[in-house]
Copies of this chain bind each other. A is one copy, B any other.
């Protein structure tokens, strides 16, 4: 089957399942390439539906809705991992190009599948086991110690579906509620890293510098590019690991390999096969952003340069804070953006257009420069101001990013 192109422009139509901020930012990249992203959204208030010209409404778990999305599209891709694998297999059988394909994507959907694949490949990861009973967990703890990390194999994100348990009783309760779980050793880690790679169906790969990610309450809060103080040797090892995984799993599109850095090296935490929060810095910070690169990769276009445009780039997420709470009486969003622009004329804002709720990812800011502490202070203060309506210099320096 030859690829479908837009009847007016003669250029590809990439269809993305999901209407969140990742689709929104992918649309921006598509516009530059002469394309218009087609989005499957649940409702007109979703981030991407607010800005994209070509929106289909439906449910990502409904095969019929997925078929409508795919009709006339060059390729189908994703802004999240929640599409049932069997639907994707059906689409592929019907002749639809899906990138990443279902056999690759399942490794980002199911943590047990991922653990088995990494074990087979001999890649570094925390000790793990599939557990179905409290006795299984106790056996695992005998070998690797308490506490044990229990994870639901599917459906978790941003810390959801991850539990740290200190005894067999707590484990039993979770198993009763969730059935089979993945048990993992709680790793003594130095910090978390992310290695992003894009891979095209042709097999071309492109890696960005390895970044440090800082989580708060299980949610990505900050990203430092490149990871400060990371040795060239370990950075290269992490990049090579990401490339090997992308190749072995046959990824098409963006792959983020989330890593634990330990005293001995790196261990794979989990994968995302789509643009990822750890790569938002690349919009302003690299010649080619992860969003443009994802489009290039799923379309089997040659990949773009991943060179950084500044020595240090810091991305800070804006999570709904004080200003997202009921009864907030401080400056409204539009006014806060006004103040942000006045105070930080070189901080770049990305606002997703969502309803503001505490803890929700509402936007992010990016700062560029040469000195990590200075760049980070700017990004954090700006993000904090948007979230909470206060400028708190102490907050910006509470965490020392130099390890």
Task: Show the binding face of A for B, using Cβ within 8 Å.
Answer: 5, 8-12, 24-25, 27-28, 30-36, 45, 49-53, 55, 284, 287-288, 296, 301-305, 307, 309-310, 332-334, 337-338, 341-342, 345-346, 348-353, 355, 363, 368
Inter-chain CA distance A351–B388, complex, in Å, is 39
Inter-chain CA distance A338–B28, complex, in Å, is 19
29 A/B residue pairs, CB under 8 Å, sorted by A: A8-B50, A8-B353, A9-B333, A11-B334, A11-B337, A11-B351, A30-B51, A32-B348, A34-B333, A34-B349, A34-B351, A34-B352, A34-B353, A35-B353, A36-B50, A36-B51, A51-B53, A52-B53, A287-B368, A288-B345, A288-B346, A302-B338, A302-B341, A303-B345, A304-B345, A305-B345, A305-B346, A307-B346, A309-B309
Which one, B301, B333, B337, contacts A301 given CB within 8 A? B337
Determine the chain B residues whose CB is within 8 A of the CB of A345 once the complex forms: 288, 302-305
Question: Given contacts A50-B53, A310-B309, are A337 and B34 in contact (CB under 8 A)?
Answer: yes
Do A301 and B341 touch (CB < 8 A)?
yes
Query: Nearest residue in B to A24 (C-beta to C-beta)?
Result: B31
Considering the complex of A and B, which 5 residue pairs feature the smallest CB-CB distances, nearest first? A34-B351, A305-B346, A302-B342, A302-B341, A9-B353
Inter-chain CA distance A382–B281, complex, in Å, is 27
Determine the chain B residues whose CB is within 8 A of the CB of A348 once the complex forms: 32, 287
List the number of copies, as a whole number.
Answer: 2
- Most B Cβ at <10 Å: residue of A35, A55, A337: A337
Question: Given contacts A33-B351, A287-B346, A287-B348, are A50 and B9 in contact (CB under 8 A)?
Answer: yes
Determine the chain B residues whose CB is within 8 A of the CB of A333 once the complex forms: 9-11, 34
Determine the chain B residues whose CB is within 8 A of the CB of A350 once the complex forms: 32
Determine the chain B residues whose CB is within 8 A of the CB of A337 once the complex forms: 11, 33-34, 301
Inter-chain CA distance A346–B30, complex, in Å, is 17
Determine the chain B residues whose CB is within 8 A of the CB of A28 once the complex forms: 28, 31-32
Query: Nearest residue in B to A25 (C-beta to C-beta)?
Result: B31
Determine the chain B residues whose CB is within 8 A of the CB of A27 once the complex forms: 31, 51
